[in-house]
């Protein structure tokens, strides 16, 4: 709990105690925290300060106990809260089923997954910032100081952004001072956004324009990661000209290029602006994959094995054992939005056939394979992908397109950006229509391009005012309440800190 974290002297617990790694660890080989050490020792040298930074990233991606916002649960929740995913569990007491049907309340584990770990990461970032700023050691060099400060500011901004778009007003935690934080109230969305912008601008100024600080690997952000997050922030604030300018800064840097469809989520690919890398100390698969991808891959087996999937008894056995069905599959609404020749449908979604008899009627079910788990096939095992992409170039093209269509109303350039994404997917470009037609096309392209990534679809429906018309019409989300567009703050936090008020509709 947030308040419990404070009462346990978060400064030592979250920044110095749990973040220190063995000195031989590289930042792209982040392992679990193993030791306790004081702040003076942590920030005495470049190497030790970078170990503390590595611990912060470990908190983000290595979650051995419960999945959390930054290691995949945000994508999972975005899928079932929006119209892109279908939850295959039918138990009405299952928390995931409650969120899928929009009937969740304050007594649930999922809100805690989205709340607890992110605040730990914020505290870690704050502690590292304070430790670097207070260190007088000559062995902590100026370039390393700047790099670390830029990264923790960017991470703090990223976490605050996701929290405020999930819960609405939140406590704005910018220090490890227990006296300040122990009874903190929620800040307005505008105030949180203001701090996010300040942190990202600082990060842009502090960070370098390459990845030399991590031996060329993208597991730590650079200044263009900050620019990309600023572009996203300005888009959400409807500051169109600034959103377009920041997206343009990234695109015109020529530091990134669209990867092939097959490689768009590979480690260190040309499209990635920032990735997280789960290590062997983690769960051996990304949370996305564990929820979105079945254990067995029908598509990787010889075609002559199709008859087994068409056999009702065998099919039902495989489904019951969880071999061929993931917990969350692609909704019909999403699948039907793809053109049949769209390479994203073929490469980013996999499928399984079903028996021809009722109730299956030969329907093909689709599921996300942007990230795969270790998949068993009849001919061997496909290893898991443990690299998780946080930001990629395709989103920047779509941000610039939307900003141009809604701001300067440069429809030709907006359509050009959309067509760059469509062409990569093997599709023909769209013509330049009127403003609303172009905006509709951009929104459709975001739905397809960014599906099953970081809750983009859910956030897009909310920020564009289309959540109620879209989600409120889905039978499984009845009765619908627009107040459910913000998640409830975990009840344990309200109990521990009475100055925190619960979101509407959960009182």
pLDDT at 264: 98
Residue 199, token pair as written in the block: 């942190």
pLDDT at 299: 76
pLDDT at 463: 97
Residue with tokens 């006296």: 179
Residue 329, classed as helix, strand or coil, is strand
CB 81 within 8 Å of CB 488: no
367, part of any domain:
yes
Where on the phi/psi map is residue 452: left (φ > 0), alpha (ψ -120 to 50), or beta? left
DSSP string, 72-122: THHHHHHHHHSSSEEE----TT-HHHHHHTT---SS-SHHHHHHHHHHHHH
CA 196/CA 459 separation, integer angstroms: 17
pLDDT at 383: 76
pLDDT at 497: 86
Task: Extract long-range pairs of 437-444: CB within 8 Å, 24+ residues apart.
Answer: 438/405, 438/411, 438/414, 439/402, 439/405, 439/406, 441/415, 442/398, 442/401, 442/402, 442/405, 442/414, 442/418, 443/402, 444/337
Exposed / middle / buried, residue 493 (Cβ in 10 Å: 0-12, 13-18, 19+): buried
379, part of any domain:
yes
Q: What are the residues facing 187 on neighbouring strands?
A: 170
Q: What are the residues facing 389 on neighbouring strands?
A: 275
Exposed / middle / buried, residue 266 (Cβ in 10 Å: 0-12, 13-18, 19+): middle
Residues 6 or more apart whose Cβ sits within 8 Å of residue 476: 100, 101
CB 401 within 8 Å of CB 418: yes
Residue 249, token pair as written in the block: 């800064």
Residue 507, token pair as written in the block: 């009182």
pLDDT at 305: 67
Residue with tokens 């007003």: 169
219, part of any domain:
no
pLDDT at 21: 35
Which residues in the chain show pLDDT less than 50?
1, 3-37, 282
Burial 97-133 (b: 16+ CB within 10 A, else e): bbbbbbebebebebbbbbbbbbbbbbbbbbbbbbbbe
Angle CA 257–263–266, to nearest 5: 100
DSSP secondary structure letter of residue 187? E
DSSP secondary structure letter of residue 363? P
488, part of any domain:
no
How long a stretch of residues is the chain? 507
Residue 287, token pair as written in the block: 């949370």
Please state the domain count of the chain. 1
Give the Cβ contact number of residue 236 at 10 Å: 20
CA 294/CA 145 separation, integer angstroms: 44
Q: Find the helix or strand (DSSP H, E) in which 323 lies.
A: none
pLDDT at 39: 66
21, part of any domain:
no
The range of the structural domain enclosing residue 341 comes to 287-385
195, part of any domain:
no
CA 472/CA 204 separation, integer angstroms: 40
* Beta strands at 85-87 and 380-382: parallel, antiparallel or unpaired: unpaired
Cα–Cα distance list, 362 to 183, 311, 327 (Å): 57, 11, 20
Q: Find the helix or strand (DSSP H, E) in which 5 lies.
A: helix 2-7
365, part of any domain:
yes
Exposed / middle / buried, residue 303 (Cβ in 10 Å: 0-12, 13-18, 19+): exposed
pLDDT at 236: 98
């Amino acid at each position: 709990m947030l308040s419990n974290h404070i009462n346990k002297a978060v400064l030592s617990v979250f920044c110095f105690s749990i973040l220190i790694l063995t000195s031989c660890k590289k930042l792209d080989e982040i392992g679990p925290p193993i030791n306790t050490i004081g702040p003076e020792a942590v920030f005495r040298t470049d190497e030790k300060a970078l170990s503390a930074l590595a611990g912060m990233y470990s908190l983000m991606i290595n979650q051995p106990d419960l999945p959390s916002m930054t290691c995949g649960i945000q994508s999972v929740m975005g899928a079932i809260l929006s119209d892109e995913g279908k939850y295959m569990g039918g138990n009405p007491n299952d928390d995931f089923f409650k969120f899928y049907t929009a009937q969740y309340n304050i007594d649930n584990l999922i809100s805690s997954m989205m709340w607890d770990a992110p605040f730990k990461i914020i505290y870690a970032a704050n502690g590292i910032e304070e430790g670097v700023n207070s260190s007088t050691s000559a062995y902590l060099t100026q370039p390393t100081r700047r790099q670390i400060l830029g990264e923790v500011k960017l991470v703090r901004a990223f976490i605050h952004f996701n929290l405020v778009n999930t819960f609405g007003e939140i406590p704005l935690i910018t220090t490890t001072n227990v006296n300040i934080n122990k009874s903190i109230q929620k800040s307005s969305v505008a105030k949180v956004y203001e701090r996010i912008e300040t942190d990202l601008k600082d990060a842009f100024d502090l960070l370098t324009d390459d990845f030399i600080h991590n031996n060329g690997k993208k597991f730590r952000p650079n200044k263009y990661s900050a620019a990309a997050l600023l572009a996203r922030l300005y888009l959400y604030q409807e500051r169109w000209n600034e959103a377009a300018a920041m997206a343009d800064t990234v695109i015109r840097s020529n530091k990134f290029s669209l990867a092939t469809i097959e490689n768009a989520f590979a480690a260190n690919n040309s499209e990635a602006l920032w990735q997280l890398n789960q290590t062997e100390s983690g769960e051996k698969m990304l949370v996305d994959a564990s929820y979105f991808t079945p254990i067995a891959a029908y598509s990787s087996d010889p075609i002559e094995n199709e008859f087994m999937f068409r056999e009702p008894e065998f099919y039902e056995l495989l489904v019951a054992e969880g071999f061929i069905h993931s917990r969350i599959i692609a909704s019909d609404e999403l699948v039907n939005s793809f053109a049949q020749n769209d390479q994203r449908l073929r490469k980013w979604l996999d499928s399984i056939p079903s028996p021809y008899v009722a109730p299956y009627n030969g329907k093909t079910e689709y599921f996300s394979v942007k990230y795969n788990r270790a998949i068993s096939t009849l001919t061997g095992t496909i290893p898991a992908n443990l690299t998780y992409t946080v930001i990629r170039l395709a989103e920047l093209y779509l941000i610039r397109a939307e900003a141009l269509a809604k701001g300067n109303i440069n429809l030709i350039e907006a359509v050009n950006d959309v067509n760059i994404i469509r062409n990569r997917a093997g599709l023909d470009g769209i013509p330049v229509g009127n403003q609303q037609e172009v905006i509709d096309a951009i929104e459709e392209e975001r739905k397809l391009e960014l599906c099953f990534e970081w809750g983009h679809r859910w956030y897009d429906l909310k920020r564009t005012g289309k959540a109620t018309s879209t989600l409120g019409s889905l039978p499984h989300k009845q009765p619908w309440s627009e107040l459910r567009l913000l998640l409830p703050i975990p009840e344990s936090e309200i109990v521990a800190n009475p100055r925190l008020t619960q979101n509407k509709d959960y009182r």
